[in-house]
Amino acid sequence: DDLGVLDNLVANTTFLMAQQSDRCALRKRRLSLSLPKPKNPQEATVQQFEWLCEQQPIGKRLFQQFLLTFDPQYIAVARFLEELSVWDYAEGEKRNIVQRRISKKLSQTCSRSFLTFLTGDEAEALERLSEENFEEVISTIKKATIEFLKGKPFSEYLHSPFYYKFLQWKEYEKQTISDKYFYEFRPLGKGGFGEVCAVQVKHTGQMYACKKLHKRCLKKKDGQRLALLEKQILEKVNSLFVVNLAYAYENKSHLCLVMDLMIGGDLKFHIYHLGTRGLRKDRIVYYSAQITCGIQHLHAMNIVYRDMKPENVLLDAKGQCRLSDLGLAVELPNGKTVFQKAGTTGYMAPEILKQEYYRTSVDWWALGCSIYEMVAARLPFKDFREKVHNTEVTRRTLEDSCKFEHKNFDHPTKDIIMRLLKRRTEYRLVTRLNSLCCRSGDDPRKHAFFKDINFHHLEAGLVKPPWVPKSNVVYAKDMSEFKDISEEEDVALDAKDEKFFKEFSTGAVPTRWQREMIESGVFDELNCFQRNGHGYEASKS
């Protein structure tokens, strides 16, 4: 109806406009913001150097600022390390230029005088520095430099105003998160326990997606333990190919998972709802490559995904994809297996359907089904929207051979699918690490299907996506399709449930939150030592 169309238009416009928020307006909104006092300043001092000064984005910044403030030697050390990291990430000719610059500096006695901490052997190695041994010598010197920082500079840092600032940020990070922290926009998708909405953090302007899990619905369908598991796994994984969790909080009716906003929508939407069915070959290869990396990252952490399908693969603003929806994922320590039936009809591997013990092999089967679907806009054993009983899909999966009737199947595509859809797991194309039977084809990345992909560059986020979402389009179904979520009023929540909700609602996820503070400029604004009148002086005491 007309009203629905209008509603949708308004919701889309507000959502698209929020993505282009004005920085000045945001700054005004947070004029009153100030950092709290840390409650237990002593408590954190037991923390290690690595955690404080390397892993925590804000901690790393503050330690760097500390080094660059007082001591000429510390300043030289900080600049040296900065240059090394530029060299580390540089590629091709740029890398050579940076390398020559570093070599030149290190060959002049005056410009390397800050390296007084080198021991006899290390100093000798430095004397022998040449183009051939550059990597090796530099790595020795880098290690020695970091050891040096862990000594006197680190203990001085712990007594400096910079560290006090760090504790203030950590205190701020612990704030209770509620609905008031965000603006809410239109729903983008619907899940089994509620909808997924676009949200925006009020004082930073950062956009996220908020997956809402209806509390009573969770309880009724026995989904509480799974919800907690989903949250814990999301929080643990740190991959370019899996969505990041930023906040976990609760309101009266829902548990909320706030994640990276993937404005390009899910791949199922792209396969079926944008005109021509199926995807272009270059996109299929690119997405499959990123999915492969994502699956490998999960498996490297002993996590089995179990819900691999295009609907759970989402595109960001640049056109890169990530795995999402870890609601069925399980962590299986080395050697452990499970046999529970889990997954989506049409994507489940034979070993799941036969209720055998399985591990990571099931994700590679589901990837095979997904590549097939990106090409043919149907599944190998189930047609699009086919009304068919699950037992029949199971029978076809266990007995029928996979047909490649669609004209878009070329040889490498067919071949990789056939290798992923091997019923016997020992013949399936899966990653086999430290395996004794190292036959060729033990890494899906080496298959001819991926011959145009440089995985080293892909892992560094350096491969240009073949397709970029338009900034004026909302890649989601109309809002009216997400309504009618049945409210489960007949289940009562008790003290045990409340305890579980508390365990779930841990607030900001430290590294993601700290990056948000840095990227939005809030970190720099609240951090000026001289101007904020807190009585600190940026000079050595």
Nearest to 17 by CA among 252, 210, 246, 183: 183
Could you tell me the sign of the dihedral formed by the alpha carbons of 268, 270, 276, 280, in that order?
negative
CB 281 within 8 A of CB 467: no
Spatial neighbors of 41 by CB under 8 A, at least 6 apart, are 164, 167
Q: Which partner from the list Mg ion, ligand ADP, none does 189 bind, CB cut-off 5 to 8 Å by kind? A: ligand ADP
Indicate the helix (H) or strand (E) that contains 211: strand 207-214
Q: Applying CB under 6 A, which of residues 156, 260, 363, 516 lies at the interface with ligand ADP?
A: 260
Residues 177-206 that bind ligand ADP (CB under 6 A): 188-189, 191-193, 196
| 226 touches ligand ADP (CB under 6 A) | no
Residues 100-139 that bind Mg ion (CB under 5 A): none
Q: Applying CB under 6 A, which of residues 156, 311, 351, 516 lies at the interface with ligand ADP?
A: 311
Q: How far apart are CA 80 and CA 73, in angstroms?
A: 10
CB 246 within 8 A of CB 509: yes
| 212 touches ligand ADP (CB under 6 A) | no
What region does 84 belong to: left with phi over 0, alpha with psi -120 to 50, or beta?
alpha
Q: Which partner from the list ligand ADP, Mg ion, none does 351 bind, CB cut-off 5 to 8 Å by kind? A: none
- At closest approach, how far in Å is the CB of 281 from ligand ADP? 24
CB 376 within 8 A of CB 413: no
Residues 341-370 that bind ligand ADP (CB under 6 A): none
Q: Given the complex with ligand ADP, which of 314 and 375 has the nearer CB atom?
A: 314
Q: Which partner from the list Mg ion, ligand ADP, none does 323 bind, CB cut-off 5 to 8 Å by kind? A: none
| 310 touches Mg ion (CB under 5 A) | no
The answer to the question of whether 211 is labelled as a binding residue is yes
| 195 touches Mg ion (CB under 5 A) | no
- At closest approach, how far in Å is the CB of 226 from ligand ADP? 9
- At closest approach, how far in Å is the CB of 467 from ligand ADP? 17
Catalytic center residues: 307
Q: What are phi and psi for residue 117, nearest 5 degrees?
A: -80, -5
Which 3-state string (H, E, C) describes 127-160? HCCCCCCHHHHHHHHHHHHHHHHHCHHHHHHCCC
CB 171 within 8 A of CB 40: no
| The one segment of 63-71, 163-171, 311-319, 404-412 that binds ligand ADP by CB under 6 A | 311-319
Q: How far apart are CA 222 and CA 359, in angstroms?
A: 24
Largest CA distance in the chain: 81
| 327 touches Mg ion (CB under 5 A) | yes
Residues 325-344 that bind ligand ADP (CB under 6 A): 325, 327
Q: Given the complex with ligand ADP, which of 53 and 243 has the nearer CB atom?
A: 243
Count how many Cα atoms sit within 13 Å of the Cα of residue 480 in the half-sphere of its side chain.
9
Binding site for ligand ADP (CB under 6 A): 188-189, 191-193, 196, 209, 211, 243, 259-262, 266, 311-312, 314, 324-325, 327
Pick out the residues of the known binding site for ATP: 211
Site for Mg ion, rule CB under 5 A: 312, 325, 327
